[in-house]
């Protein structure tokens, strides 16, 4: 149903009213919490991925662009029984506390996360995942979103994130990823790095990207039989922005891999490094 916003304190707007992403995840009205999808393109990708909206909030100017996706999600261009809140740009900014990118938001129900091993068995288009990215302890949501965008563009089948990694469904992560967090299957892997053994048992070769003496240059690693075989399955492990990977992770991974640098530069930003590594390890 289309609802014009007349009262900024309308309790139906609480999903959007200055709530932090942490608060959204903990909302009790929905089983797994909420997240906010920002912009028509991101909302489109969320709906195409099968995520269920709870409501929409849009600038009246952007409603025609949003209507096809409202209809796909609800069966009706006006949202049917689902609220579609409509207001002017300045009003929406007062409600949310930030400027809306292209004037549209949706409060989406978070889907239940899959078991990592189960996801790895099907994430390659219904077949076992061959290229996997693991994010350990990343705290910058811009980097998380950028890595998902690279993963989608470069043929990565799935992403696993540790419990201390930033939330891929944080509003900024989703926006920076251009909605590809809905395109690349992902889940959390608990008890990391001890749970790396679950990957080894599944026949996955793990490679820790780290600046360590004796590390294999990325291009040489990509030529190993573990990477070039028809049934090769490789997981690239990326560490936190400051300290990098935990020593235990490096010790437990099958290989330690580095990107050779020139120009007296010792390393790349983690998002840039992930793009380089995913390109080099892509399925030929």
The packing angle between helices 63-74 and 40-48, to 10°, is: 10
Within the chain, all domains assigned CATH 3.30.1330.30 are found at 2-109
Residue 274 has pLDDT above 70, yes or no: yes
HSE toward the beta carbon, residue 170, CA cutoff 13 A: 19
pTM of the model: 0.87
Q: pLDDT tens across 221-264, in order?
A: 999 999 999 899 999 999 987 788 999 999 999 999 999 988 77
CA distance 133 to 5: 43
pLDDT score for 97: 67
- What mean pLDDT is reported for the chain? 89
* 116-280 topology per CATH: Alpha/beta knot (3.40.1280)
Q: Where in the chain is the domain with CATH 3.40.1280.10?
A: 116-280
| Mean pLDDT, residues 50-70 | 92
Query: 105 and 34 in contact (C-beta within 8 Å)?
Result: no
Q: Cα separation of 156 and 134, whole Å?
A: 11
> At residue 101, does pLDDT exceed 60?
no
Q: What is the pLDDT of residues 205-221, one digit of tens each?
A: 999 999 888 899 999 99
Indicate the fold that domain 2-109 takes in CATH: 60s Ribosomal Protein L30; Chain: A; (3.30.1330)
């Amino acid at each position: 149903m289309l609802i014009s916003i007349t009262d900024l304190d309308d309790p139906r707007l609480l999903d959007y009213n200055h709530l932090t992403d942490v608060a959204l995840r903990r909302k009790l009205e929905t089983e797994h919490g909420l997240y906010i999808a920002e912009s028509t393109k991101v909302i489109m990708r969320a709906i195409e991925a099968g995520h269920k909206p709870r409501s929409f909030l849009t600038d009246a100017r952007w409603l025609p662009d949003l209507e096809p996706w409202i209809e796909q999600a609800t069966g009706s261009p006006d949202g049917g029984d689902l609220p579609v809140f409509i207001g002017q740009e300045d009003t929406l900014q007062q409600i949310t506390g930030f400027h809306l990118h292209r004037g549209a938001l949706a409060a989406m129900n978070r889907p239940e996360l899959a078991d990592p091993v189960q996801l790895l068995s099907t994430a390659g288009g219904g077949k076992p995942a061959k290229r996997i990215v693991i994010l350990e302890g990343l705290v910058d949501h811009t980097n998380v979103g950028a890595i998902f965008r690279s993963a989608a563009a470069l043929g990565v089948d799935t992403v696993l994130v540790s419990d201390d990694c930033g939330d891929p469904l944080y509003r900024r992560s989703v926006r920076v990823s251009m909605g590809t967090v809905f395109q690349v299957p992902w889940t959390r892997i608990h008890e990391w790095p001890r749970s790396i053994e679950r990957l080894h048992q599944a026949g996955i070769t793990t490679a820790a990207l780290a600046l360590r003496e004796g590390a294999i240059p990325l291009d040489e690693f990509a030529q190993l039989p573990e990477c070039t075989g028809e049934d090769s399955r490789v997981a690239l492990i990326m560490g936190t922005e400051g300290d990098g990977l935990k020593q235990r992770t490096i010790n437990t991974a099958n290989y330690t891999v580095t990107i050779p640098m020139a120009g007296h530069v010792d390393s790349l930003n983690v998002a840039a490094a992930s793009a380089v590594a995913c390109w080099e390890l892509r399925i030929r």
